[in-house]
Structure 1
Amino acid sequence: MINSEPLITERTYYAPIEKVWKAITDNTEMKKWYFDIADFKPEVGFEFEFSGEGKEGEKYLHLCKVTEVIPEKKLTYSWRYDGLEGNSFVTFELSAEGEKTKLKLTHTGLETFPANNPDFAKESFTEGWNYITGTSLKQFVES
C-alpha cells in the first residue's frame, strides 16, 4: 500500500504577510533562503528549474511549473525531477494573524517518485521542508 498522505507543515512568523509573500515569490529574495533559482515569476504557466543534492551527493535537476497564484494568499507549483518518474505539487498558503503570518505548506504526490530511492522518502522531504520553513525562511522573514 503506497502512502499518498500529503506532507503538511505549518509555521507562524513574526512578519507581515506582504514580507512573507515577497520572500516566496521574489527571485532575489528566494536565493537568500531557498534554492538558487535563475528566474521566477508568480505567474501561472511560468517554468523554472534548480539543482539540488541528495544525501550521498547525487545531483537532481528539479523541474517546476507554477499552477496557481492568488497574491498574498496561495502559490502552487509542480515539482519533479529531470529523467525520473513522478510529479508532485508544492503549495504555500498564507494567512494573516494580526502582525504575524501563518504559512501552511503542503507537498502532495510524493508517492509518485521512485520508491527505492531514500532521497524521495517522505521522511527526507519532511526533514527538508522542516528546515526550509522552520529555520531558513523563518530567520529570513523575521530578520
Structure 2
Amino acid sequence: MENDKLSITHTYSASAETVWSALTDVAKMRQWYFPQLEEFRPEKGFQTEFNVQHDGNDFIHIWKVTEAVALHKIAYEWRYGGFPGNSILSFELFPENGRTKLILTHTGLDSFEPSRFPALSKDNFILGWSHFTASLDTFLQAP
C-alpha cells in the first residue's frame, strides 16, 4: 500500500554518536522532539506513553521499543490511545565522512484509518516528520 509508509532521508553535520544521543537521550529528546516525554530508554521492550495536545485534541502517544542497535538503529511501535492502528517508526544511522545520514521510516500508517481520522493522514505525518528532522538539524547545530 503506497499510503502505508513514508521515508525521509536527511544528512546531519554531526557524528553518528551525536545523532544517536539526540535520538535516544530523553533530556535531549525533550529539547527537539517531544517536551512531554517523561522517560525513554533505547532498550528492546521499553514502553512509554505521553499526551500531546493538538488543535484541542489529546493524542496519547504509546511507544514500545522493538529494536535498538546502538549507533545504528532505533525502532518502536507507535500507537495512539483511543484510536485504531499500530505503526512502526525507525531511525537508521549511516556515518559518512564525519556526517551522518539518517533514514526515518514510518510504516503502518493506513492502520490509523485516516479516512475516519484525518488528523492521522499520511500528509500530516509527512509534515510532522519534516518538522522534526529540521528541528533535529537545528538542535545538532546549536553550540
TM-score normalised by the shorter chain: which range applies?
Answer: over 0.9
* 1:142 matched residue in structure 2: 141
What is the DSSP-based 3-state SS (H/G/I as helix, E as strand, rest coil) of the residue aligned with 1:80?
Answer: strand
* 1:37 matched residue in structure 2: 37
* 2:126 matched residue in structure 1: 126
**1:67-82 → structure 2 map (5 Å cutoff):** 67-82=66-81
Give unpaired runs (5+ residues) of structure 1.
Answer: none
Give the TM-score normalised by structure 1: 0.93
* 2:10 matched residue in structure 1: 11
- Distance in 2, Cα, partners of 1:42 & 1:109: 21
Cα deviation code 1:55-86 (max 9, x no counterpart) = x3211101110000110000000000112110
Letter in 1 for 2:138: Q
* 1:66 matched residue in structure 2: 65
Give the TM-score normalised by structure 2: 0.93
The count of residues paired between Structure 1 and Structure 2 equals 140
- Distance in 2, Cα, partners of 1:85 & 1:117: 9
Give unpaired runs (5+ residues) of structure 2.
Answer: none
RMSD: 1.2
- Distance in 2, Cα, partners of 1:60 & 1:121: 14
Deviating runs (4+, > 4 A) in structure 1? Answer: none
